[in-house]
């Protein structure tokens, strides 16, 4: 059965999509950007600060679904500028350790002035 995941500590969707969907032992997150869920605005600060907010938003959805970053098996990363790839990796290593998830990273034109967007698939015990 498909269940909608709603995380109070992540930004509300700005369109017709769910923050996440849980089905069987998997959770799929929608793309998250550097939006502060309290103000619903893009965080000010460095690119690294924006990556941290983005990954915190992903983590909030996973938590609401009953899982966490250690259970992530696939990550998609979208960067507005591929020159930020190395900086992204440095922050990414703060959140993911040990056996890293599979990952794709591409340069893309992102919504709402985002410099980064991330979505993932995780398992649930």
- What CATH number did the domain enclosing 37 receive? 3.30.1330.40
Handedness of CA 11, 51, 2, 25 (dihedral sign): negative
Its domain, for residue 60, covers 2-123
Task: For the full predicted model, state whether its pTM sits above 0.95.
Answer: yes
% of the chain with per-residue pLDDT over 70: 100
What would the DSSP string read from start to end of 104-123? EEEE---GGG-SEEEEEEEE
Please state, in angstroms and rounded to a whole number, the distance separating the CA atoms of residues 116 and 94. Answer: 16
Contact 56/94 with Cβ under 8 angstroms?
Answer: no
Total number of domains constituting the chain: 1
Please state, in angstroms and rounded to a whole number, the distance separating the CA atoms of residues 75 and 104. Answer: 6
Please state, in angstroms and rounded to a whole number, the distance separating the CA atoms of residues 53 and 38. Answer: 12
Give per-residue pLDDT as tens, 76-86: 999 999 999 99
In angstroms, the first-to-last Cα distance of the chain is: 16
Give per-residue pLDDT as tens, 30-57: 999 999 999 999 999 999 999 999 999 9
């Amino acid at each position: 059965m498909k269940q909608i995941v709603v995380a109070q500590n992540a930004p509300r969707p700005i369109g017709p999509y769910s923050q996440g969907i849980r089905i069987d032992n998997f959770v799929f997150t929608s793309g998250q950007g550097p939006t502060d869920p309290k103000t619903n605005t893009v965080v000010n600060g460095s690119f690294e600060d924006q990556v941290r907010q983005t990954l915190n938003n992903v983590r909030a959805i996973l938590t609401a679904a009953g899982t966490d970053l250690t259970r992530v098996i696939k990550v998609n990363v979208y960067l507005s500028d591929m020159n930020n790839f190395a900086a992204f990796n440095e922050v990414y290593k703060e959140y993911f350790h040990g056996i890293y998830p599979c990952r794709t990273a591409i340069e893309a034109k992102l919504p709402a002035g985002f410099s980064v967007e991330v979505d993932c698939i995780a398992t649930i015990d």
